[in-house]
Amino acid sequence: MSGWYGLLPPPKAPEVLRGRQKADWLIIGAGFAGLAAARRLSQLVPGDRIVVVDAQRVGWGAAGRNSGFMIDLPHELAGENYGGSQNHDRKRIRMNRAAIEFSAAAADEYGLQAFFVRAGKFHGAASDHGLGVLREFETHLTGLGEPFERLDGPQLKEITGSDFFIGGTFTPGTVMAQPAGFIRGVAEGLSSRVQLFENSPVISMRTGKLHTVKTAEGEITAPQLILTVNGHLESFGFFKKRLLHVFTYASMTRPLSKSEQAALGGEPHWGLISADPMGSTIRHTGDRIVVRNTFTYNPDMSTSEKQIKRIGAVHDQSFRARFPMLGDMPMEFRWGGHLCLSLNSAAAFGEVEDRVFVAGCCNGLGTVQGTLYGMLAADIAAGSDEPMVGDALNQPAPSRLYPEPLMSIGAPLKLWAMQRRAGKEL
Ligand SMILES: Cc1cc2nc3c(=O)[nH]c(=O)nc-3n(C[C@H](O)[C@H](O)[C@H](O)COP(=O)(O)OP(=O)(O)OC[C@H]3O[C@@H](n4cnc5c(N)ncnc54)[C@H](O)[C@@H]3O)c2cc1C
């Protein structure tokens, strides 16, 4: 269980799909993309029957496992300094901000302000390599005309309590979410307009004039289908040999005592991303600290307790390096989660068969880009004149992976080399 999910009260009993059902719109997957599609459809075609089906409880999957950085700026995980070309990045920022505003409207409407805070994000460097990466990032931001603030080590210590960082950069546009709380809140907020079935994995799908999907206990038909199952698009037969299945991992401490908080110092709420895209992400949630790092290649789309435990030891090391004043702090939660990446960092988006739309594979940035593509999938499906649809459709599709055995040898090696390059930033 992720810490974010574990901190929420237990959810109400789920409604499971049973028997034969009909819908006007069927969405498979209730993460950021699926719920954005559902919310957008509820605005575009009010009165139509919109049904969302998920294999698990809302918030149990990657949507409730992530670090909660809803980032407006370019954030290219596969690159060396997060940036891409200026034209591409300007468009990306405009689209990311539209998705953040779409989420902000949901947060306002459903009273989710506690789970959705416009706090900005820090980047922290612990080495000269990291500082160099941040300087490149700042140059890129200057070129884009985007505001940022440069911080030195002591300024970062005032915020984080840690003297691990020798410099940093603050950018103001990121929203910090409690991801499981936010996503569950959106699902509950939509419940008067959208019917949600949970714990109902789709086990077969037949497309046609009416699309039919089956679960263990039920079946549902609909003329319009939106698939928002992230990397599981491949399990539905789409984008085969184009999606890279990677896991990343996090650990969350137990609550810090008053004396531990005093020993730590700094501010109670902040989120910091490493200068190096492969370094550690750290959040202070008010009374707990969350560490996220390490990527593994898992083409079978699953991880194991053993892998989570092994990477937990890396988290402990990263934690001790940053917060020696907190000693051997026990971690109350440790978890892993599935990321879908593509070699060219492109998302899977568009109409893949007649009236079958997809939005997924958001390259580790799905809180914002999943929202964006989910919302735009609803726009194309409903034939709206949203201008961003054209931009989204003009983007490249995920490129082909290298043939085997190049992937199974090359992908872990590449991840290893990138993480090694991160050095102290891990
Ligand atoms: C530890 C970690 C940290 C991360 N940090 C960040 C971050 O700070 N910022 C950020 O933007 N992103 C982050 N991410 C990535 C982010 O979580 C994902 O990109 C995002 O959740 C993708 O949203 P989605 O809606 O496309 O897919 P998902 O959230 O994966 O939702 C897909 C849903 O489809 C359902 N599904 C799959 N198959 C079936 C089926 N057969 N039948 C029914 N339902 C099915 C799943 O149960 C799931 O609920 C992080 C991820 C992890 C694991």
Superfamily classification of domain 121-172+244-341+403-426:
D-Amino Acid Oxidase, subunit A, domain 2 (3.30.9.10)
Cα separation, 357 vs 94, whole angstroms: 23
Q: How far is the CA of 146 from the centre of ligand 1 (A)?
A: 28
- Cα-based angle 288, 292, 296 (whole degrees, multiple of 5): 155
Q: How are beta strands 50-53 and 149-152 bridged, if at all?
A: unpaired
Residue with the smallest CA separation from ligand 1 atom 37 is 229
- The confidence band for 367, taking pLDDT boundaries of 50, 70 and 90, is very high
Taking Cα atoms as reference points, which of 221, 214, 218, 222 lies closest to residue 18?
218
**Centroid of ligand 1 to alpha carbon of 290 (angstroms):** 18
Phi, psi of 299 (to 5 degrees): -60, -20
Predicted confidence (pLDDT) per residue in 148-171, tens digit: 999 999 999 999 999 999 999 999
The rounded Cα 88 to chain-centroid distance in angstroms is 21
Q: What is the DSSP letter of 82?
A: B
383 φψ region: left (φ > 0), alpha (ψ -120 to 50), beta (else): left
Q: What is the pLDDT of residue 78?
A: 54
**What is the model's pLDDT at position 87?**
81
Question: Rounded to whole angstroms, how far apart are CA atoms 344 and 276?
Answer: 19
Domain boundaries, the chain: 1-117+177-240+345-395, 121-172+244-341+403-426
The protein residue with its alpha carbon nearest to ligand 1, atom 12, reads 365
d(CA 365, CA 177): 13
Residue 74's pLDDT is what?
84
Protein residue whose Cα sits closest to atom 32 of ligand 1: 229
pLDDT digits (tens, 9 = 90+) for 284-316: 999 999 999 999 999 999 999 999 999 999 999
Write out pLDDT tens, residues 323-336: 999 999 999 999 99
Q: What CATH number should be reported for the domain whose range is 1-117+177-240+345-395?
A: 3.50.50.60
How many angstroms separate the CA atoms of 394 and 350, rounded?
A: 10
Residue 292 CA: which ligand 1 atom is closest?
1
| Count of beta carbons in the 10 Å neighbourhood of residue 46 | 9
Ligand 1 center to 45 CA (angstroms): 26
Give the torsion through C-alpha atoms of 361, 208, 36, 23, to 10 deg: -150
Helix intervals (H) in 174-304 = 179-190, 258-264
Q: Is the alpha carbon torsion for 97, 99, 105, 107 positive or negative?
A: negative
Mean pLDDT, to the nearest integer, of 389-395? 93
Note the residue count of the chain. Answer: 426
Output the CA angle 379-383-386, nearest 5 degrees.
50
Cβ < 6 Å from ligand 1: which residues?
28-34, 53-56, 61-63, 65-69, 201-202, 228-230, 232, 248, 250, 292, 337, 339, 360, 362, 364-368, 370
| Tens-digit pLDDT profile for residues 42-90 | 999 999 999 999 999 999 999 999 999 999 998 765 555 566 677 888 9
Distance CA 354, CA 2 (A): 37
Residue with tokens 């004043």: 325
Tens of pLDDT along 185-215?
A: 999 999 999 999 999 999 999 999 999 999 9
**CA distances (Å), 313 to each of 106, 290, 418, in order?**
38, 14, 19
* Closest among 373, 367, 371 to 346, alpha carbons compared: 373
Nearest CA to ligand 1 atom 46: 29
124 touches 169 (CB < 8 A) = no
Closest atom of ligand 1 to CA, residue 366: 19
Q: Which pLDDT belongs to residue 79? A: 56
- Residue entry with tokens 């079935």: 197
Share of the chain above pLDDT 70, in %: 98
| Ligand 1, pocket-test mutation among 72, 76, 115, 339, most atoms within 8 A of CB | 339
User: Considering the chain, what is the average pLDDT of its residues?
Assistant: 95
Atom of ligand 1 nearest to the CA of 236: 41
Which ligand 1 atom minimizes the distance to the CA of 362?
Answer: 19
**Separation CA 16–CA 138 (nearest Å):** 49
Q: What integer pLDDT is reported at residue 88 of this predicted model?
A: 84
Strand 25-28 and strand 175-177: the pairing is: unpaired
Q: What's the N-to-C CA distance of the chain in angstroms? A: 23
